[in-house]
């Protein structure tokens, strides 16, 4: 299916379906094969969408107009498809070409309004279509989420409810609504507070109603388009690069002080990641009440997150807020036009951001240890909770090929995407990766870009071809099971280490290595294993104890020592291997464990390398391989 | 003659008492006799070796933890002269057994090099204030002298996360079999 604006979400607690990327499901009119279009190929563009909406959140009564301007240089425009709340009725329709007629279908919790122009607008011309509507918002369940919620202290309406969305449907017009500039005039009873995506341009009182106007510049964006209103309170956020505040339901101030404090760290972190401050006059960070319709999203100048994430501990709530706010860049301001077939650069980048935000205060070995443990969540979800062989590539051929089930979609969109980006980050190095994000943001901010643009920038900053990387891990799936061994030879200056790897033949595998010397010092080396499977070598100053790939590859590259029973990659099986794994006896990979961590409450101390039987349960049987080989040592060093 | 030999030997090795006096009752009726002198404590947390028992043909050394606030296990390697010592068996010390399920393994990987481990299985730690963590039995294949040392970098008390505890001294000893 196509992905309209309003697409960004965070994983919902406990696999709720509400992180499904789009609130819009296929309309009753069947889409033709290959209906996905990108900005580059869409023959019709929507240039503006303007709303004039009167809304009383205490009753859900809504009335208004939506005016859509669209044009095409190549095809005649015959109509368009809108989707809105099923409680709203179309009361009038008109067009700049001399009238319009409408027909209505209700499906999936939406009302689809098909608008036909009385006279098609010829190619090369523009058309304007205006629909009047009124009614009481029904806000029904829509596949586990709601486009609106009314009669609450904090009510909201997303696009597709009181703000009719423009459906990108080939059969009706073939336009693409993303680059449309938007304007919202909202009329509410006096005393109702409101924030919305876009930039507030005026606030006044007319005929006893509060009237607020927002505009959103026209640029391709997968960000949410919405208004939040009710009895709201705001609390300023200190430390950001733009005026920001936490917005919340007046009687529910819990978490807001923490969220404000966290945003004081998140704002500069995300600014630094993108290399620029957010280009908004102000930012609203909305705390959504728990269990109310949707878990979070981000739009132009607005970040929203449900307090239900507070149920997983402060640290996880904070990093999830970082995820959602990271969408300001990775999804709102920078939206790949192929987002219908991939979440790599939206959910993948946002999830990676949350992990690195959590690690921001660490460096060196402590950071590596933190990341290796934190990323176990990715490794276990990919290895144990989904079938790696069935989960599709990160860019699929058509939207219908993306996993539709909740678990599969979450792991594909969030976990596999971010794990692969982490594999890339480790491969090209943190410095190059940081430069990549800055340059990608600069190149693609409010611009028509796609995954290929990200790749091009990555190649530029790394100085390396990423053709193999992308084809192996983004456009296809590969989980090579590497077996590593190393040997040492005296060299002119120090020691030459030769790394022999099996299991990756036919793949080109970039690896960040952690090389621990006998002195205890840990060095970092980057190598690329050739497709031929030939050994690679590198030099270090002195004798080596162990050579292991950075655990940041682990979810994608399943590396193990060539020596059975050797868990710590020193080529030997000793007490360190045994006791490391013995500690985890009794642990398992299950979800929602007592004392578990993160959204899925998993035991991040579970190490799949210890799971010799590979059943997700650590028992003494898993130690069998270690016992069998215990005491196996490398040849004494020369 | 005998007295003279004993005096010379004791003097040469600076050994104080064991078996050095003609008046001492013989500790072993026949076969070789052993003297194990542990390295002197250096203060602070340590893993050390202590002689537990000996017979004409065998010897038991204890691996003792002292001054260690919290440990989940000990991974170790011991080096010695294979002509003097030969590994026979290992037992988990009473300290770890008191914590819960334990795990242990030991193997003489090469003559003169014992690779071993004892510790807690699952989560759990032990405060090691002069606690016997493991007992290791050796056979005595021949006479001679040898150092018995923990191999540094390959021997450590592990913390609750199975990471080596820093700052733990490794104290071996000297063995004489005659
Ligand atoms: Zn997200």
CATH, residue B75: 2.60.40.680
Decide if B100 is inside a domain: yes
Q: Which pLDDT score is estimated for A125?
A: 87
Cβ of B120 and A582 within 8 Å? yes
Distance from CA of B130 to the nearest CA of A (A): 21
pLDDT band at B99 (very low <50, low <70, confident <90, very high): confident
In a domain, B113, yes or no: yes
Per-residue pLDDT tens digits for A155-171: 999 989 999 988 765 43
Whether A620 and A555 map to the same domain: the answer is no
A433: left (phi over 0), alpha (psi -120 to 50) or beta: alpha
How confident is the model over A428-455, as a mean pLDDT? 95
**Residue A368 sits in the same domain as residue A430:** yes
Q: Is residue A533 located within the same domain as residue A444?
A: no
Nearest CA in chain B to A586: B122
Structural contact between residues B126 and B96, judged by C-beta atoms closer than 8 angstroms: yes
Q: Is the pLDDT of residue A32 over 60?
A: no
| CATH code, A624 | 1.10.1330
| pLDDT in the model for residue A621 | 96
Q: Does B117 contact A579 at a Cβ distance shorter than 8 Å? A: yes
* Mean pLDDT value across residues B68-93: 96
Nearest to A574 among B110, B115, B162 (CB): B115
- Give the per-residue pLDDT at A388: 84
| DSSP letter (8 states) at residue A31 | P
**CB within 8 A of A373, min separation 6: which ones?**
A604, A605
Pair (A576, A508) in one structural domain? no
Residue B24 falls inside a structural domain: no
Domain encompassing residue A558: 480-562
Q: How far is A582 from chain B (nearest CA, A)?
A: 5
Which position has the higher pLDDT, A96 or A18?
A96
What lies within 8 Å, CB to CB, of A609 at 6+ separation is A560, A567, A581
The per-residue pLDDT for B128 is: 81
CA-based nearest residue to A327, from A343, A349, A312: A349
Confidence of residue A121 (pLDDT cuts 50, 70, 90): confident
Residue keyed to tokens 């590979």: A614
Complex ipTM value: 0.84
Where does a domain end: A429, A454, A473? A473
Asked whether residue A287 is domain-assigned, the answer is no
In this structure, are A624 and A574 located in the same domain?
yes
pLDDT of res. A254: 93
Q: How far is the CA of A413 from the centre of ligand 1 (A)?
A: 9
More confident residue, A534 or B100: A534
Structurally, how many domains does chain A consist of? 3
Average pLDDT, whole number, for chain A?
A: 89
Between residues A253 and A45, the one the model is more confident about:
A253
Question: Are residues A551 and A571 part of one domain?
Answer: no
pTM of the model: 0.89
> What strand order describes the sheet that includes A165-167?
A100-107, A110-121, A77-84, A165-167
Ligand 1 center from residue A347 Cα (angstroms): 5
pLDDT score of A195: 98
Residue ending a domain, choose from A436, A454, A473: A473
Does some domain include residue A204? no
Asked whether the beta carbons of residue A633 and residue B105 sit closer than 8 angstroms, the reply is no
Nearest-by-Cβ selection for B109 from A579, A627, A633: A633
Tens of pLDDT, residue by residue over A260-269, are 999 999 999 9
- A531 confidence band (pLDDT: 50, 70, 90): very high
Based on the domain organization, do A456 and A502 belong to the same domain?
no
Residue B14 located in a structural domain? no
Domain assignment of residue A257, yes or no: no
**To the nearest whole angstrom, how far is the Cα of B117 from the nearest Cα of chain A?**
5
**Which of the 8 DSSP states describes residue A277?**
-
Q: What confidence score (pLDDT) does residue A470 get?
A: 97
Contact A150, A139 (CB under 8 A): yes
Q: What span, in angstroms and rounded, lies between the C-alpha atoms of A444 and A474?
A: 20
Judgement on whether residues A455 and A512 belong to the same structural domain of the protein = no
Task: Judge whether B110 lies within some domain.
Answer: yes
| End residue of a domain, out of A562, A590, A623 | A562
Give residue A15 CA to ligand 1 midpoint distance, Å. Answer: 14
Closest CA to B74 of B37, B38, B114: B114
Give the domain CATH number at A485.
2.60.40
Residue A610 C-alpha to ligand 1 middle, in angstroms?
32
* Predicted local confidence at residue A180, as pLDDT: 86
Does one domain contain both A463 and A359? yes
Range in A256-270, A283-297, A370-384 the model is least confident about: A283-297
Kindly write down the DSSP assignment for every residue of A46-109, as one continuous string. Answer: EEEEEEEEEEETTTTEEEEEEEEEEE-SSS-EEEEEEEE-TTEEEEEEEETTT-EEEEEEEETT
pLDDT for A9 beyond 60: no
pLDDT confidence bin for B32, thresholds 50/70/90? low
Of B113, B153, B156, the CB nearest to A518: B153
Average pLDDT on A250-266 reads 96
Same domain flag for A557 and A569: no
E strand or H helix at B11: helix B2-13
Q: From the list A578, A586, A633, which residue is nearest B117 (CB)?
A: A578
Q: How far from each other are the two terminal CA atoms of chain A, in whole angstroms?
A: 63
pLDDT tens-digit series, residues A205-248: 999 999 999 999 988 888 889 999 999 999 999 988 899 999 99
In chain B, the number of structural domains is 1
Kindly state the percentage of chain B with pLDDT values over 70.
82
Q: pLDDT band for position A2 (50/70/90)?
A: very low
- Which structural domain, as residue segments, surrounds residue B119? 31-177
Per-residue pLDDT band for A394 (boundaries 50, 70, 90) equals very high
Residues A423 and A359 in one domain: yes
Flag whether B11 is in a domain. Answer: no
Where are the alpha helices (H) located in A300-450, listed in sequence order? 314-326, 349-358, 364-374, 376-383, 406-410, 417-428, 430-444
What was the pLDDT predicted at B30? 55
In a domain, A288, yes or no: no
Residue of B nearest to A573 (CA): B115
Whether residue A391 is found in the same domain as residue A448: yes
Q: Do A575 and B117 touch (CB under 8 A)?
A: yes
Closest by alpha carbon to A210, among A49, A48, A57? Answer: A57
Q: What's the A124 CA to ligand 1 centre distance in angstroms?
A: 38
């Amino acid at each position: 299916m196509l992905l309209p604006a309003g697409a960004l979400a965070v994983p919902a607690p406990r696999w709720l379906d509400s992180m499904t990327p789009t609130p819009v499901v296929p309309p009753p009119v069947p889409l033709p094969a290959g209906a996905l279009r990108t900005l580059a190929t869409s023959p019709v563009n929507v240039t503006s969408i303007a709303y004039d909406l009167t809304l009383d959140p205490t009753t859900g009564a809504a009335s208004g107009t939506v005016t859509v301007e669209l044009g095409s240089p190549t095809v005649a425009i015959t109509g368009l498809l809108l989707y809105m709340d099923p409680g709203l009725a179309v009361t009038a329709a008109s067009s700049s070409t001399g009238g319009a007629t409408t027909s209505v279908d209700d499906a999936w919790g939406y009302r689809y309004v098909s608008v036909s122009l009385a006279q098609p607008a010829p190619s090369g011309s523009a058309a304007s279509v205006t629909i009047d509507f009124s009614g009481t918002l029904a806000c029904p369940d829509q596949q586990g989420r709601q486009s609106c919620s009314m009669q609450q202290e904090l009510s909201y309406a997303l696009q597709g409810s009181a703000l009719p969305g423009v459906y990108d449907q080939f059969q009706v017009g073939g336009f693409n609504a993303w680059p449309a500039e938007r304007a919202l005039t909202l009329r509410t009873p006096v005393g109702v507070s409101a924030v919305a995506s876009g930039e507030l341009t005026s606030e006044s009182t007319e005929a006893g109603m509060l009237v607020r106007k927002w505009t959103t510049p026209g640029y391709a964006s997968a960000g949410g388009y919405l208004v939040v209103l009710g009895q709201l309170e705001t609390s300023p956020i200190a430390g950001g690069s733009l005026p920001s505040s936490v917005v919340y339901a007046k009687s529910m101030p819990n978490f807001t002080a923490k969220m404000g404090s966290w945003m004081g760290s998140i704002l500069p972190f995300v600014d630094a990641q993108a290399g620029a401050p957010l280009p908004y006059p102000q930012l609203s960070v909305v705390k959504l009440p728990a269990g109310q319709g949707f878990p979070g999203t981000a739009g132009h100048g607005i970040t929203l997150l449900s307090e239900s994430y507070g149920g997983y501990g402060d640290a996880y709530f904070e990093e999830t807020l970082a995820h959602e706010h990271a969408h300001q860049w990775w999804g709102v301001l920078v939206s790949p036009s192929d987002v219908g077939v991939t979440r790599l650069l939206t959910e993948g980048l946002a999830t990676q951001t949350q992990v690195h935000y959590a690690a921001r205060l660490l460096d060196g070995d402590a950071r590596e240890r933190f990341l290796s443990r934190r990323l176990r969540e990715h490794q276990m979800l990919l290895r144990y909770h989904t079938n790696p062989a069935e989960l599709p590539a990160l860019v699929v051929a058509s939207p219908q090929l993306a996993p539709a089930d909740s678990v599969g979609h979450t792991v594909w969109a969030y976990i596999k995407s971010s794990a692969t980006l982490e594999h890339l980050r480790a491969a090209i190095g943190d410095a190059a990766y940081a430069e990549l994000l800055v340059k990608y943001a600069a190149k693609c901010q409010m611009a028509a870009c796609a995954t290929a643009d990200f790749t091009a920038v990555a190649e530029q900053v790394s100085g390396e071809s990423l053709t193999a990387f992308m084809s192996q891990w983004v456009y296809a799936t590969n989980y090579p099971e590497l077996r590593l061994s190393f040997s040492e030879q005296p060299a002119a200056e120090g020691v030459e280490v030769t790394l022999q790897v099996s299991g990756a033949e036919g793949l080109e595998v970039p690896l960040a290595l952690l090389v621990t010397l006998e002195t205890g010092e840990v060095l970092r080396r980057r190598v690329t294993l050739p497709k031929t499977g030939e050994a690679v070598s590198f030099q270090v100053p002195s004798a080596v104890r162990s050579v292991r790939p950075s655990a940041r590859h682990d979810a994608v590259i399943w590396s193990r020592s060539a020596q059975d029973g050797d868990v710590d990659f020193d080529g030997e099986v000793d007490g360190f291997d045994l006791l490391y794994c013995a500690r985890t006896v009794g642990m398992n990979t299950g979800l929602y464990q007592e004392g578990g961590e993160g959204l899925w409450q998993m035991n991040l101390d579970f190490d799949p390398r210890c799971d010799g039987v590979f059943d997700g349960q650590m028992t003494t049987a898993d130690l069998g391989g270690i016992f069998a080989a215990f005491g196996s040592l490398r040849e004494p060093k020369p | 003659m005998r007295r003279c030999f004993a005096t010379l030997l004791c003097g040469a090795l600076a050994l104080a008492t064991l078996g050095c006096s003609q008046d001492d009752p013989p500790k072993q009726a026949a076969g070789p006799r052993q003297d194990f002198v542990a390295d002197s404590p250096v203060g602070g947390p340590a893993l050390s070796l202590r002689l537990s028992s000996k017979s004409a043909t065998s010897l038991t050394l204890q691996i003792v933890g002292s001054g260690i606030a919290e440990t989940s296990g000990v991974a170790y390697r011991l080096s010695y002269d294979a002509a003097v010592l030969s590994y026979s068996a290992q037992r988990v010390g009473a300290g770890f057994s008191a914590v819960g399920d334990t795990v242990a393994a030991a193997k003489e990987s090469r003559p003169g090099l014992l690779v071993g481990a004892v510790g807690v299985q699952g989560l759990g730690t032990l405060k090691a204030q002069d606690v016997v963590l493991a007992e290791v039995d050796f056979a005595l294949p021949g006479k001679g002298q040898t150092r018995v040392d923990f191999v540094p970098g390959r021997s450590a008390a592990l913390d609750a996360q199975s990471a080596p505890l820093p700052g733990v001294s490794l104290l071996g000893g000297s063995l004489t079999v005659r």
